[in-house]
Structure 1
Amino acid sequence: MSRLHANLILVLTAAIWGAGFVAQDSAMAHLGALWFVGLRFLLAFFVALPLAMREHQRVAAPLSGRELGIFALIGLALFGGASTQQLGLLTTSVTNSSFLTGLYVIIVPVLSVIVLRKLPHWIVWPAALLATTGIYYLSGGDLAQLTIGDLLTILCALFWAGQVLLVGMFAPGSDRPMALSAVQFLVCALGGLTLALFLEPIAAGDIVDALPELLYAGLFSSGIAFILQVIGQRWTSAPQAAIFLSSESLFGALFGALLLGERMGWIGYIGCALIFIAMLLVELVPEISKKRRAQ
């Protein structure tokens, strides 16, 4: 697969995720955040399971304990991101959530320095400052207006960055992308359902009421989209994948406006623009520099 095709797959992934913000927000009228996370990723696990079983029949080498441990670690990062994002939606808007989640495009190169000991391009640091300014404007130009939901969503961006980095580190060298997807979904589902049993009341009718949102989030924005992410990241770098995946913020804002009627003041749109410009700079400036050096 070419890098162009991989990046197009990641844009499709981002579009599915962007629409998923609406389903996640609407479901909160019926289900607790942890129940929604657990059930959506349980559905995603059943989407990935037959693909993982078919993959297992084709791969000669058995799944090692090390691979299983790595896949479970990716699942923990996924659970951290999914749960904090869902809890954040209790007190923040779909638009804010989609843009703040996109901050992982800044965090991924920073984690590369810490984990992989690789210095990022110089543009990362001014881009991080630009994104921070964007968050300030997104909050209305007053840090006191940042809600608990916004702060949880920023924490969510840290977890997503870890998940993207880990997938970028291990998916290209693995012959089991479907097994990776199935294991991370199962870990995330077990985490959500276990905590929900102790922390959130539920009735059978609640699941029925939230069934349309659960089906979309479970089958599409979890099952299909995260599988596409793993496939796409096998053929492109983690920082480049992050910029394409971060376009979910634009899709999230678009679907939030079209389906939920959400609106922001002009200063909020400036904040959104600054965050997205920071995302673009992280990827485009290094690529332009590389081409100039080659010439």
Structure 2
Amino acid sequence: MQLKSEHLAYLLLAATTLFWGGNFIVGRAVSTEIPPIALAWWRWLFALLVILPFTAKSLWQLRHPIRQHWLYLTGVSVLGVTNFNTFVYLGLQTSTATDAVLLLSATPIIILLFSRLLFKEPISNRQLLGIVLSLTGVLVIITGGVPTNIAAVFQGALSSLWILAAVISWSLYSVLLRKRSADIGGQAFFAITVVVGWTIITPFYLYEHHLLDKTLPLTVNALYSIVYVGLFASVFAFLFWNRGVEILGANRAGNFIHLIPVWALLLASLTLGESMYWFHWLGIFLIFSGIGLASLKRSTQATVTTR
């Protein structure tokens, strides 16, 4: 029996968020085995080897628009490819997958702030309250529910700062996507950002490998991890997400993003034995309450317009 297109989109988007949620689990699981920059470098090299045979021709045909927009493409490549997962993997060296994914769930609020700062999008009082609630939830998680621990974040909890840097980087990347040239299609855009982002990671990988003497172990576990983050969390996730957005539209598809922490928390409990504490639940409540408040205006508009 053939699936209806909407049902197919639901499956594809759910699978995408599962792959992305699993990325945090893998990053944490191999944190003592695979150096963080090496994991990011090999991830994007693997993804590049998979996609380049299918996109090399279009990249050559688009060489003039690519050259014309090189500064923008370099910027989004750094934010979305070089920085994001590298910062996540650096944070997961000491942070739990639970803490990391909960902090990242505040991304929609940071996107809202950048949209205001860069593109002067108005923020209503309701959205402002949502921002305050979500950021309070982030602080609750970072401090373990003890406000006086905030100083420790800047003194010793470097992992939280790496994750916050990842949130900021991805949020800025997401906001800047609206400036993408219509001349460069989705697959070509993905390919060029991977090429540029991976190239920029390379000197940091060489520094980690040669000067810090942190090498990738030649183990089956390391190989499986790189295949997962390179193929499933990168290539398949990109293809599935694009197809789901094509069927449902960006507005409806965007709601599936909130499944990422659900998958990650479930997997962290099942595979890593991580537990949820009261401050996690309080942080979740505040973050998602804030997102809900900040989204109310857009949700009502979505009933009369399509984006």
Q: Distance in 1 between the 2:297 and 2:228 partners?
A: 36
Q: 1:44 to 1:80 in 2, by over 3 A?
A: same
Partner of 1:73: 75
The SS at the match of 1:107 is helix
Q: Which runs of 5+ in 2 are unaligned?
A: none
CA offset digits 1:230-257 (Å, max 9, x no partner): 66667526xx766542431222112111
Partner of 1:283: 295
Amino acid at match of 2:237: A
Q: Distance in 2 between the 1:91 and 1:269 partners?
A: 21
Kindly tell me the number of residue pairs found equivalent between the two proteins: 288
- The within-5 A match list for 1:108-123 is 108-123=111-126
Amino acid at match of 2:18: A
Partner of 2:145: 141
- The within-5 A match list for 1:4-15 is 10-15=13-18
Please give the root-mean-square deviation of Cα atoms over the aligned residues, in Å.
3.2
Any conservation in 2 of the 1:94–1:256 contact (CA below 8 Å)? yes
Amino acid at match of 2:41: G
**Match among 234, 237, 260 for residue 222 of structure 1:** 234
Q: 1:183 to 1:228 in 2, by over 3 A?
A: farther
Q: Work out whether 1:176 is the aligned partner of 2:190.
A: no
Any conservation in 2 of the 1:164–1:242 contact (CA below 8 Å)? no
Amino acid at match of 1:112: S
Amino acid at match of 1:76: V
- The within-5 A match list for 1:30-179 is 30-53=33-56, 55=58, 63-78=65-80, 79-138=82-141, 139-143=143-147, 144=149, 146=153, 147-170=157-180, 173-179=182-188
Once the two structures are TM-superposed, the CA of residue 31 in structure 1 deviates from its matched residue by 1.4
CA offset digits 1:199-227 (Å, max 9, x no partner): 34244535654111111001111222234
**Match among 190, 194, 200 for residue 191 of structure 1:** 200
The SS at the match of 1:92 is coil
Once the two structures are TM-superposed, the CA of residue 163 in structure 1 deviates from its matched residue by 1.6
Once the two structures are TM-superposed, the CA of residue 130 in structure 1 deviates from its matched residue by 0.9
Q: Distance in 1 between the 2:75 and 2:235 partners?
A: 18
Any conservation in 2 of the 1:98–1:252 contact (CA below 8 Å)? yes
CA offset digits 1:46-96 (Å, max 9, x no partner): 222123236559x78954413444333211101222121111111211011
The SS at the match of 1:210 is helix
The SS at the match of 1:164 is helix
Amino acid at match of 1:142: V
The SS at the match of 2:217 is helix
Q: 1:129 to 1:197 in 2, by over 3 A?
A: same
Deviates more, 1:152-161 or 1:128-137: 128-137
Any conservation in 2 of the 1:108–1:164 contact (CA below 8 Å)? yes
The SS at the match of 1:36 is helix
- The within-5 A match list for 1:247-286 is 247-286=259-298
Deviates more, 1:3-12 or 1:240-249: 3-12
Q: 1:64 to 1:103 in 2, by over 3 A?
A: same
Q: Distance in 2 between the 1:120 and 1:290 partners?
A: 17
Amino acid at match of 2:193: Q
Q: Percent of aligned positions with the same letter in both sequences?
A: 21
Once the two structures are TM-superposed, the CA of residue 142 in structure 1 deviates from its matched residue by 1.5
Q: Distance in 2 between the 1:243 and 1:108 partners?
A: 15
Q: 1:184 to 1:230 in 2, by over 3 A?
A: farther
Q: 1:153 to 1:28 in 2, by over 3 A?
A: same
Any conservation in 2 of the 1:74–1:163 contact (CA below 8 Å)? yes
Q: Distance in 2 between the 1:163 and 1:231 partners?
A: 21
Q: Distance in 2 between the 1:128 and 1:62 partners?
A: 41
Once the two structures are TM-superposed, the CA of residue 107 in structure 1 deviates from its matched residue by 1.0
Q: 1:205 to 1:148 in 2, by over 3 A?
A: closer
Any conservation in 2 of the 1:106–1:279 contact (CA below 8 Å)? yes
